[in-house]
Amino acid sequence: MRVVGTFAGARSLRAGITGLVPTMGYLHEGHLSLVGIARERSDTVMASLFVNPLQFDDPSDLDRYPRDFDRDAALLELAGCDVLFAPPAAEVYPAPPLARVVVSGLTDTMEGPRRPGHFDGVVTVVAKLLGGLQPDLAVFGRKDAQQLVVVARLAADLSMPVEVIGGPTIREADGLALSSRNVFLSGEERRAALGISRGLMAAADAAEAGERSGAALEGLVIEEMSRQALDIEYAELADAADTARLLVLDRPAFLAVAAGSGRTRLIDNVWLKPDGTADRGARLGRPSVLYGGGD
């Protein structure tokens, strides 16, 4: 695996179909599964590792975002990555970024109003990665459901010749969705956090059993989360095309949740089809590499 710090250097290492997996590092099996998807579809697999200051609405969140470059590089190489693009901030933002990309509409719900400026930062850095690295495909996690919809629309609206692919959420054996932030959870906070995935699985069960009411599906998640010491921000059934709240599951959708456990904010979701079929993600058989078992 080659490690490069410039857009031009990374671009020059593309050969054949190139697949990109953008990350902010502190990798877990969720990221590595995206590398696997890119590997199946690409001649050259490129990952990017950049903790983008522009998308942190809370500076203290940026400061405490976990980092471990050497471990990340080792994990990416094991997963089959060919090129790691790890730019310094000065390569990504050589000057204050006067040009910004915004995606309106899709960012008005859920994460948008709760993290002011977050999506503008995400969209701008993703536009730079897609425009500056020119991959043929880019793989994003379905765990960041709204982000995936926004990024796909960004690429389409800006006529970028890139296919945006969503990869399934990877979960611990007990259901907790993998997140770099999970390392912040105390044992008690982690137990409480399980209410999120339990609620989503209950809603997925109900959808598969025929429930189509948005309020009923959302209610099942909230009921399960309310049993735990969680700071519930939202549970919304959202149209997968435009992220608008759905009253009835009559088109592709995702049921998305945000909740705080202690100081740590977590998001999770299941994707639902109008026939009730659910994409609940995949579960690991052993603890994640996040907890020190992987390197």
Which CB, 67 or 100, lies closer to its own copies? 100
* One-letter amino acid for residue 106 of the chain: L
* Contact call for residue 265 and its own copies (CB under 8 A): no
Residues 36-95 that bind its own copies (CB under 8 A): 92, 94-95
Tell me how far, at minimum, the Cβ of 90 lies from its own copies, in Å: 12
Residues 114-133 that bind its own copies (CB under 8 A): 123-124, 127-132
- Candidate segments 15-23, 44-52, 159-167, 211-219, binder of its own copies by CB under 8 A: 159-167
118 annotated active-site? no
Which CB, 54 or 196, lies closer to its own copies? 54
CB 214 within 8 A of CB 248: yes
Tell me how far, at minimum, the Cβ of 104 lies from its own copies, in Å: 5
The H-assigned helical ranges of 178-213 are: 187-208
Residue of 14, 31, 212, 265 marked active site = 31
Candidates 118, 153, 198, 212: give the one binding its own copies (CB under 8 A): 153
* Contact call for residue 244 and its own copies (CB under 8 A): no
95-128: burial string, b at 16+ Cβ within 10 Å, e else: eeeeeebebeebbebbbbeebeebbbbbbbbbbb
* One-letter amino acid for residue 91 of the chain: E
Nearest Cα to 249, choosing from 222, 196, 210?
Answer: 210
Q: How far apart are CA 46 and CA 79, in angstroms?
A: 11
* Contact call for residue 245 and its own copies (CB under 8 A): no
Q: How far apart are CA 20 and CA 42, in angstroms?
A: 9
Tell me how far, at minimum, the Cβ of 107 lies from its own copies, in Å: 9
* Contact call for residue 148 and its own copies (CB under 8 A): no
Query: 21 vs 61, 79, 126, 184, CA distance in Å?
Result: 23, 12, 11, 24
Tell me how far, at minimum, the Cβ of 157 lies from its own copies, in Å: 4
161-173: burial string, b at 16+ Cβ within 10 Å, e else: ebebbbbbbbbbe
* Contact call for residue 9 and its own copies (CB under 8 A): no
Which CB, 243 or 261, lies closer to its own copies? 243
Residues 211-230 that bind its own copies (CB under 8 A): none
Sign of CA dihedral 218, 224, 226, 230: negative
* Contact call for residue 135 and its own copies (CB under 8 A): no
Which CB, 102 or 215, lies closer to its own copies? 102
Q: How far apart are CA 255 and CA 295, in angstroms?
A: 34
* Contact call for residue 4 and its own copies (CB under 8 A): no
How open is the CA angle 231-237-243, to the nearest 5 degrees? Answer: 105
The encoded tokens of residue 94 equal 């050589």
* Contact call for residue 137 and its own copies (CB under 8 A): no
Tell me how far, at minimum, the Cβ of 71 lies from its own copies, in Å: 27
Q: How far apart are CA 52 and CA 54, in angstroms?
A: 5
Q: Where in the sequence numbering do the catalytic residues fall? A: 31
Instruction: List interacting residues with its own copies (CB under 8 A).
Output: 7-8, 11, 92, 94-95, 97-106, 123-124, 127-132, 134, 153-154, 156-161
